[in-house]
Amino acid sequence: MHHVTKVHFGPLLAEVRTKVDSKRPLLRYLVDKREGLRNIHPKELLSSDFSCLHSPYSLPDLSDAVELILSFAKAGKKILLYGDRDSDGVSSTCLLAFFLKSHKEFSNINLEVMVSSESDPYGLCKEALVKIKKVKPDLLVTLDFGSSQADEIEELTNTGIQVIVLDHHEVPVRIPTNCALVNPRRTDSIYPEKKICTAVLSFKLVSAILFRLSDEYGRVYVKTEVEEGSEKTSLVYFRNGIKIKEESLLSFSLDEKSILPYPEDFVTPIPVDTERKLFFYQCSKIPDFFSSLEEETDLAGIGTITDMMPLIGENRHFVKLALNSLTKLYAGDKKRKGLSELLRELKLSPQGVTTKDLGWSIGPVLNSAGRMGKTEEAVSLLLSETATDAKTKAKQLLSINEERKERTKRNMDRVERYFARKPERTTKEIVFCYEPDMEPGVSGIVATRMVDTYKKPAIFLAPDNGDARGSIRSYDKENVLELLESLSHHFLHFGGHPEAGGFSIQIDKIPAFEAELYDAAGKWLAQDKERENTHSIETDFTVLTEEMGERLLKEWKDLEPFGQGNPDIKLAIRNAKAIHLTPLSGGKHVRFHLIGSGSLKYMIWNKGEEFQKFMSGHGSFDLVGSLEENFYQGRTTLQFIVEWFGIAAENSTQSN
């Protein structure tokens, strides 16, 4: 509710319905406004299946990774999967482990699974290296870290350990040698998507292994294409679902008879490009290929949502496929016993698992184990082999999540008191908070809430095992890794994404770090010349109170899943009048109705007292927020979540 200086009101629904020539004008209008969606074929926008996914073989070093796993598994050599502690790390590790443990090809595999704990610094720290060397694996697969740790990987390879890295973080100039680095952000990557999470990379590795074990692997197909702008034709060759150059055929030792014609008559349910069509065609010829992969989509979708990947392109399809798979699992498919029991313990809606469930229920529970230093509890649950064991572990994980919530609440109380004592710190370019009594493990959540409150980049730091660990979150489009890089001489370790990073630091270095932070942040933010000094809200539509309801929500439901890159539909209401106001949690939150919108509930979180104070001086007001379905105690209801309230001018407002 704070710091809003401008509200851009979207058009009235009636205006859009009049001006947009479409059977579904609101949906068409929204799609055209969203760069990541507007050029997609309508069928691909509305539906998802495996034909929408790209061949994994365009990922760098993916083929090498497949061959390493197959050869080491066949030889009975020890394979160690070592994953990061967050939800993406846990999801990617368990996805690959579950496949290797359950597929008949790997029935005698010598496999061990490990994950980092909250007490470890990020990635291949010295503690991790000690653990790995103690296990003495022949093959190490790191999941969700490793791209930036060339020295550590080369230290391991020098001892005779072969390494595969599955990671999606930024790739530095120097990358590990003698290592299969599967990362779509590599400059030499031809994979069509750059921003996919590690759980999706695990899925890609699994699908590539299944394809490698089939007769379709290595087959070459040829297609005659008309060259653009002329009547000339040329031959285009494909292998493993990707285009290859004609000169590359020489390395395959093929004769003309072994080259197969492109399946021109084959029709995919959803129109896709030539490469995806061919790969789908090849996969459809492999017995049980898609049924084997369907259950692997669930963890790929969870990782995509919890790691805040943009929900456009392939990520959109992974989430939709995951929701279908999880809904089936929730309805009684017990193959993934651990995940199945977790869904039941969370008491989700029987009507189907939703994107909100992934981001607000399933993901946070899996994340909580790592935050509380108990990552192995999440892994143990997801790899459970019996329903009884899974039920016990699901309850344990939910208990850990409750501990995490309490710790977050205590830290947030301390943050509020901290800034109440030192309000001048909220005027800086970046909001920084550290005190010796802060509790570890939830720094990312607290930093995110600081950003939400102060509308600025934020750093939260807490003591942890003799040192301190911090999280930084961006507010707008700033790249936080650039700031961390400029201050890296203070850190023991640092890393992350452009939007979210983490670091560890010696406690006695914190004063010097903070002293340098504000000047460095000023220079960092000054580099972004287009950054606005004001916070504005863009709304999709301006809606009359009587237009609110389930019928309206259904008009854009096909745009789901909503999230990064495809935000939920933002609605504005003007000149609203509240009735039946009910304070919740001692006034911290508030629920009310609006005159004209029937029984629809409007919710304001964490700003209840401000709203009541505001209401005492205003008879009507403007609102910005989103419609959503809420499942609670066996009932699904519709509610409006308020993001902002105030008195707005036609296209601008002063902050309240």
C-beta separation of 306 from 86 below 8 A: yes
Instruction: Give the CATH architecture of domain 292-403.
Output: Alpha-Beta Complex (3.90)
State the greatest distance between any 2 C-alpha atoms of the chain, in Å, as a whole number.
Answer: 84
Domain coordinates in residue numbering, the chain: 4-42+539-646, 216-275, 292-403, 422-533
Q: Which residues is 520 bridged to in the sheet? A: none
User: Taking Cα atoms as reference points, which of 15, 20, 33 lies closest to residue 547?
Assistant: 15
**Each residue of 527-566: pLDDT tens digit?**
765 555 566 889 999 999 999 999 999 999 999 999 888 9
Checking if the pLDDT of 247 tops 90, the result is no
Read off the amino acid at residue 435: E
Q: What is the CA radius of gyration of the chain?
A: 26
Q: What pLDDT is stored for residue 225 in this prediction? A: 86
**Each residue of 39-90: pLDDT tens digit?**
899 999 999 999 999 999 999 999 999 999 999 999 999 999 999 988 999 9
**Each residue of 344-378: pLDDT tens digit?**
999 988 888 999 999 989 999 998 998 888 999 99
Checking if the pLDDT of 5 tops 80, the result is no
Cis-peptide, bond into residue 561, ω within 30° of zero: yes
Q: What pLDDT is stored for residue 546 in this prediction? A: 95
Checking if the pLDDT of 577 tops 50, the result is yes
Pairing mode, if any, of strands 541-542 and 571-576?
parallel
Helix (H/G/I), strand (E/B), else coil: 282: helix
Checking if the pLDDT of 4 tops 60, the result is no
Helix (H/G/I), strand (E/B), else coil: 28: helix
CATH number for 4-42+539-646 (one of 2.40.30.10, 2.40.50.460, 3.40.50.360, 3.40.50.1000): it is 2.40.50.460
Checking if the pLDDT of 254 tops 80, the result is no
Q: Which residues is 583 bridged to in the sheet? A: 590
C-beta separation of 390 from 340 below 8 A: yes
**Residue 396 to residues 156, 177, 358, 442, Cα–Cα distance (Å):** 35, 41, 19, 19
Grade residue 253 by pLDDT with cuts at 50, 70 and 90: low
Percent of the chain residues topping a pLDDT of 90: 73
E strand or H helix at 342: helix 337-346
Q: What pLDDT is stored for residue 118 in this prediction? A: 62
Mean pLDDT of 424-428: 92
Of 389-398, 401-410, 644-653, the one with minimum mean pLDDT is: 644-653
**Each residue of 266-292: pLDDT tens digit?**
999 999 999 999 999 999 999 999 999
Q: Check: CATH 3.30.1330.40 for 422-533?
A: no
Tally of CB atoms within 10 A around 264: 9
Checking if the pLDDT of 195 tops 90, the result is yes
- Domain 4-42+539-646 matches domain 422-533 at the CATH topology level: no
The larger pLDDT score, comparing residue 137 to residue 229, is at 137
Q: What pLDDT is stored for residue 471 in this prediction? A: 94
Mean pLDDT of 409-420: 94
Grade residue 321 by pLDDT with cuts at 50, 70 and 90: very high
Mean pLDDT of 571-593: 94
User: Taking Cα atoms as reference points, which of 550, 76, 125, 40 lies closest to residue 315?
Assistant: 40
Both tokens assigned to 40: 């997609």
- Sign for the CA dihedral angle at 17, 18, 22, 28 comes to negative
Q: What pLDDT is stored for residue 1 in this prediction? A: 37
Helix (H/G/I), strand (E/B), else coil: 650: coil
Round to the nearest angstrom and report the end-to-end CA distance of the chain: 7
Q: What pLDDT is stored for residue 655 in this prediction? A: 38
Checking if the pLDDT of 650 tops 60, the result is no
Q: What pLDDT is stored for residue 9 in this prediction? A: 94
Distance CA 213, CA 225 (A): 30
C-beta separation of 206 from 223 below 8 A: no
Checking if the pLDDT of 640 tops 70, the result is yes
